[in-house]
Structure 1
Amino acid sequence: MTRQRTLTLVTVAAVLLAAGGGAWAARSGDGDPAAAPRPAVSSAPPVRVVLPGRPGESARVTDSDQVRAPDGSTYNTIDVAFVQMMIVHHTQAVEMARLAPERAGGTGLRALAARMDAAQAPEINWLKQWLRARKLPESDPRHDHSTMPGMQTPAALAALTAARGAEFDHTFVTMMTAHHRGALRMAGDVLAGGTDQALHEVANEMAVEQGSEIRRMEQL
């Protein structure tokens, strides 16, 4: 393990502990029910990709574990699954955050929700570009997004949408805290098993940001 990767993992471990250990509780089945054990990102099978041949040569199909990105960096199926799943995970968080301006009772919560939107919407675009650069699909039908750590059900989203004032604030904090803890677990998975260094940096930044937001929601 390189020194850079070791420092990254140490940073995320500190964030997980500071966030109340929710991501680690998810592995043992303790804590918030929404953070119950879920299939790890590392369980995804290899992604089949088509590599164009040189002039006069035929294209070939191989596993993403065995290819390099155009910039020469390496990546594996754990990286690919994380990116594909995190796009959906972030999209739900942005959807929830955009409910706050017209429904939240407290100005502090409205400001925090705006911060979440401002951080995660650009990250979604970066994740999509990561896939496009590798000629990989934005989604994989083998992924069951409803089982991702922290994902909220349609019924829960409907209840949040219907809530107003203090009820909205309480519901939002409960749901988003579980959602963030799920993201921390997913970031930990890719940092432990992925190989793309740029993605490691982004996952680390996600973990630090969302760990901070969990603490802020606890204060609210």
Structure 2
Amino acid sequence: MTNRRARTLAVVTLALALPLVVFMVIRLDGDTGTSAPQPVSAPATSAASPTASPVPTDLTVIAPGRPGETAATRPAHEVRDAGPAPHNSLDVWFVRMMIPHHAQALAMAELAPDRAADPDVRAIADRIRASQGPEMGMMRGWLQTRGLPAEIQGHDHGTMRGMQSPEAMRQLAAVRGADFDRLFVRMMTEHHQGAIQMATDLLTVGSDLTLNEFANSVATEQTVEIERMREILAR
């Protein structure tokens, strides 16, 4: 009797324990410690993380027009560094002619400190040296940037407007005092008038904006200097 009870108790105990064993086996089989390691997702980029900002597509750039024309706006992404500004053959001709034209004005102005009697004449000569020397450097640089030579073989620069003859230059170097003042003013006035005409012509036919601004400056400044020289002669 006792043995029958013991067997019955053992069967009941096994029946109760079997589901628990099965449950534990299932848990152990699905445990992450026995499975293949799972990849770790990269953390989301926070707002503070440095990232490349996208280029705005709604920005506009003001593109200046030629003298007398209004400016236009263009989308920023369409604007590119295109190198030197476009130019035409008349721009190149103007620069090549204006360099020797300036050179003669400098040669005349360099005579004034030792020969002029009127301090106003010496002041004008100083102004010419201070402005036209750097302008010659600018024009040579303009040609060099574009791979263009400065000289024109076989061209007679003496035929340009306002250019003084070699004989007139010798006469200017040979006089002193009031005679120098009168001759200098007459010759430089003619020289400036020629430069103003050359600059004015470029404003109607040139395409380079830098040269247009330069030509306008030449015409304006040399017109002022002509008026000052006329005042000297009128005294």
TM-score scaled by structure 1?
A: 0.69
- Indicate the residue corresponding to 2:191 in structure 1: 179
Number of residue pairs the alignment of both structures matches = 158
**Change in 2 beyond 3 A, CA 1:183/1:171:** same
**What is the RMSD of the two structures over their aligned residues, measured on CA atoms?**
1.7
* CA-CA distance at 1:70 after TM superposition: 6.5
Matched, 1:77 2:89: yes
2:103 alignment partner in structure 1: 91
- Alignment equivalent of 2:174, drawn from 162, 173, 194: 162
The alpha carbon displacement at 1:5 in A equals 1.5
Counterpart position of 2:116: 104
- Report whether the alignment pairs 1:137 with 2:130: no
- CA apart distance, 1:71: 2.1
Structure 1 position 203 matched with structure 2 position 207: no
Distance in 1, matches of 2:65 and 2:207, equals 14
Partner Cα distance (1:108, 1:193) in 2: 36
| SS at structure 2 position matched to 1:5 | coil
CA–CA distance in structure 2, aligned partners of residues 214 and 125 of structure 1: 23
Alignment check: 8 A CA contact 1:150 1:179 kept: yes
Aligned to 2:49: none
The separation in 1 between residues aligned to 2:84 and 2:121, in whole angstroms, is 42
Distance (Å, rounded) in 1 between the aligned partners of 2:84 and 2:224: 33
Q: Is the 8 A contact 1:100 1:113 kept in 2?
A: yes
Q: What does the per-residue CA deviation read over 1:145-202, in whole Å, with 9 as the maximum and x for residues that have no partner?
A: 1110000000000000001000000000000000000001100111111100011001
Larger Rg, first or second structure (1 or 2):
2
Q: Match for residue 149 of structure 1?
A: 161
Number of the residue aligned with 1:6 = 68
Deviation readout 1:120-142 (Å, 9 max, x if unpaired): 00000000000000000011125
- 8 Å CA contact 1:85–1:143 kept in 2: the answer is no
Describe the superposition over 1:88-130 as per-residue Cα deviations: whole angstroms up to 9, x where unpaired: 0000000000100000011111011100110000000000000
Q: Secondary structure at the match of 1:151?
A: coil
Give unmatched runs, 5+ long, in structure 1. Answer: 8-68
Structure 1 CA distance, aligned partners of 2:127 and 2:116?
A: 14
Equivalent residue, structure 1, for 2:138:
126
Letter in 1 for 2:107: E
Q: Aligned with 1:118: secondary structure? A: helix
Amino acid at match of 1:91: A
| Counterpart secondary structure, 2:68 | helix
Q: Distance in 1 between matches of 2:82 and 2:168?
A: 41
CA distance in 1, matches of 2:179, 2:192: 20
Residue 144 of structure 1, CA deviation: 2.2
- Per mean C-alpha deviation after superposition, the further-off stretch among 71-80 and 110-119 is 71-80
Q: Which runs of 5+ in 2 are unaligned?
A: 1-63, 70-80
Q: CA deviation at 1:216?
A: 0.5
Where does 1:57-68 land on structure 2 (aligned, <5 Å)? none
2:15 paired residue number:
none
- The answer as to whether partners of 1:101 and 1:110 remain within 8 angstroms in 2 is yes
